[in-house]
Structure 1
Amino acid sequence: MVFRLEYPNTVENLTADSTDLLKFSFKIENSERPHQAMVVFQSQDEFQDEIMVAASVRSSGKGRFELNFAKADRKFKYGTRKYSMTFLLGGFTIDEPFKYTLGEIEVQAPTVNPATRPSRVEYKSQPEIHHQFRPDQKLINKAISGAFTLLVLTPFAALFIIWSQLGIKFEPLKSLVRKPLDLVAAIVFFASLIGIEYVFYSYWTHVTLFPVLRYLSVLSLVAIVSGRSVLTLVQARRLQRTAGSAKKQS
């Protein structure tokens, strides 16, 4: 069966079965050439199934469409149904796609191995989800925590006691007192170290990561500059002491 259509005419009383082949040729007489064409089949029942089949189109405006119902979409086999056929054309320079309703076609269900429509999915509200947060972690008793803190500080206390018994003298500190600039460098160096330790303590207790990185970048630079001066002074004093010992032995 052959039909010849001119826009906007439609085709009527068109039927097909599972063994038929539907062919459709067209020609676009327009300066704007389309780049994509398709035919949309929509079932005229409660399901409103849509089946899109691409059509080939050339730069000359000629194109063709071919549909083998035996190898077509499975939805065509869900019983005998009527479908509306809509021809769509689109392109890169076309703002609104061209739409042409070709008519209706009745596709009969196959007599052998008919397809079974899957059960219709019904969407409904589900029971409300109540999120439960994990309970807060139990902390160690303050008395136990304090006891272990004192236990950690015990070696430092023992170290200072042993130093006092041995009579250790901090002679480099005396030499620093004689030179104000070196004394300032030493104070800045030890203060920067204390500041770094305090930043670590703050990060452990209440400060977030990014402020900690900002503070550490400044304190580390101060510690490097002032520490270099202090270590240079200590090295010079050590070399001076070594030279004095060598003179006494000679």
Structure 2
Amino acid sequence: MAKLRSLLLVTLLASLSTVIAESWKVQDINLILAAPGGAKKAEHKLEYPYAVKELAADPSDVLKFSFKIDNKEKPHQAMVVFQSQDEFQDEIMVAASVKSSGKGRFDLNFNKADAKFRYGTRKYSMTFLVGGPKIDEPYKYNLGHIQVQGPTSNPATRPARLHYKAQPEIHHQFRPDQKLINTAISGLFTILVLTPFAALFFLWSKLGIKFEPLQALTSKPFDLITAVTFFGSLAGIEFVFYSYWTHVTLFPVLQALGVLSVVAFISGRYVLSAVQTRRLQRTAGSAKKEL
């Protein structure tokens, strides 16, 4: 029992250390607001969860943001999300470049940044985000708020706001069913197509044609079974084609054709070989009679 408790304690400590190792360690977070000449207007060294209460920036100011990540794993993305505190809720994402040493930074010139900063004087919330593929929990830090003054000249024009509303209902019209030919006419032409075959069988009966291959097959049961299998597989293939034309989809047709084709190939090869053997035997018999 004591060993079991020790094992559980070790497992718990190992899992706790894994959770701690999988959290982001961000330090030395600095936020500097500088004038165009480089003079610092405000400087804040931030530590979670402290947030900047209020920053006021002119259009020509530069916001400098830097930090350091102490994890062995480097982040896939590190950025600050600016969200306007008005009805539009515009989001502006500014990505930071992170070096192999873990130090990251960006310089944001409001005059050259996203046009959304130039839609007028607005207040923005600043959220610092760090994420990577090997650490599940992202780092999120609310840095505070900043008010950016709109430009006095050449302000950006906000696009017209889209208003979504229900559109008129679309009524799709299908083509009417194709008219089929009259059943009597179709039956008449079917009879006309079958008439030559009836005439053929009638003439064969009058001429007294003997089906020697059929007689030879009946004398050998295995040859007869093979021939029936071969012609049956051919009839099955024709039936599959008919079914595909009328109601069956493609994939069942391919499966059936795959099976029937193998059966037709094997049985047909044997039937043709048997026919060739009988032909050679008849030729040899005729040659002996002539001699």
TM-score range, shorter chain: 0.7 to 0.9
Distance verdict in 2 for CA 1:60–1:246, change over 3 Å: closer
User: What residue in structure 2 maps to residue 146 of structure 1?
Assistant: 187
Between the aligned partners of 2:67 and 2:222, the Cα distance in structure 1 is 95
Aligned residue type for 2:193: V
Between the aligned partners of 1:4 and 1:158, the Cα distance in structure 2 is 106
User: What residue in structure 1 maps to residue 173 of structure 2?
Assistant: 132
Does structure 1 retain, via aligned residues, the 8 Å contact 2:240–2:256? yes
The yes-or-no answer on 1:16 pairing with 2:58 is yes
- Bigger relative contact order (CA 8 A; separation at least 6): 1
Between the aligned partners of 1:5 and 1:31, the Cα distance in structure 2 is 20
Residue ranges of structure 1 left out of the alignment (5+ in a row) = none
Distance verdict in 2 for CA 1:64–1:162, change over 3 Å: same
User: What residue in structure 2 maps to residue 241 of structure 1?
Assistant: 282
Q: Aligned-pair distance for 1:198? A: 3.6
Cα shift readout 1:93-133 (whole Å, capped 9, x = no counterpart): 362413032x4333222233221111111122222333333
Residue ranges of structure 2 left out of the alignment (5+ in a row) = 1-40
Aligned pair partner of 2:96 in 50, 55, 71: 55
Between the aligned partners of 2:127 and 2:220, the Cα distance in structure 1 is 97
Count of aligned pairs: 247
User: What residue in structure 2 maps to residue 4 of structure 1?
Assistant: 44
Distance verdict in 2 for CA 1:150–1:113, change over 3 Å: same
Does structure 1 retain, via aligned residues, the 8 Å contact 2:130–2:138? no
Q: Aligned-pair distance for 1:32? A: 7.4
Aligned pair partner of 1:163 in 196, 204, 225: 204
User: What residue in structure 1 maps to residue 115 of structure 2?
Assistant: 74
Between the aligned partners of 1:199 and 1:122, the Cα distance in structure 2 is 55
Between the aligned partners of 2:191 and 2:275, the Cα distance in structure 1 is 33
Q: Aligned-pair distance for 1:193? A: 3.5
Identical pairs, percent: 68
Cα shift readout 1:191-240 (whole Å, capped 9, x = no counterpart): 44444434443444444444444444444444444434433333233223
1:60-209 to 2 correspondence within 5 Å? 60=101, 62-91=103-132, 92-93=134-135, 95-101=137-143, 103-209=144-250
Aligned residue type for 1:87: F
Aligned residue type for 1:95: E
Q: Aligned-pair distance for 1:16? A: 1.1
Cα shift readout 1:16-37 (whole Å, capped 9, x = no counterpart): 12x2222234456x66776343
SS at 1:85's partner residue? strand
RMSD of aligned residue pairs (Cα, Å): 3.1
Name whichever structure is richer in strand by fraction.
Answer: 2
Does structure 2 retain, via aligned residues, the 8 Å contact 1:37–1:89? yes
Does structure 2 retain, via aligned residues, the 8 Å contact 1:33–1:60? no
Between the aligned partners of 2:57 and 2:98, the Cα distance in structure 1 is 25
User: What residue in structure 2 maps to residue 37 of structure 1?
Assistant: 78
User: What residue in structure 1 maps to residue 25 of structure 2?
Assistant: none
Between the aligned partners of 2:112 and 2:142, the Cα distance in structure 1 is 25
Between the aligned partners of 2:258 and 2:136, the Cα distance in structure 1 is 59
Does structure 1 retain, via aligned residues, the 8 Å contact 2:226–2:270? yes
Instruction: Give the structure-2-normalised TM-score.
Output: 0.70
| Bigger shift: residues 31-40 or 2-11 | 31-40
SS at 1:105's partner residue? strand
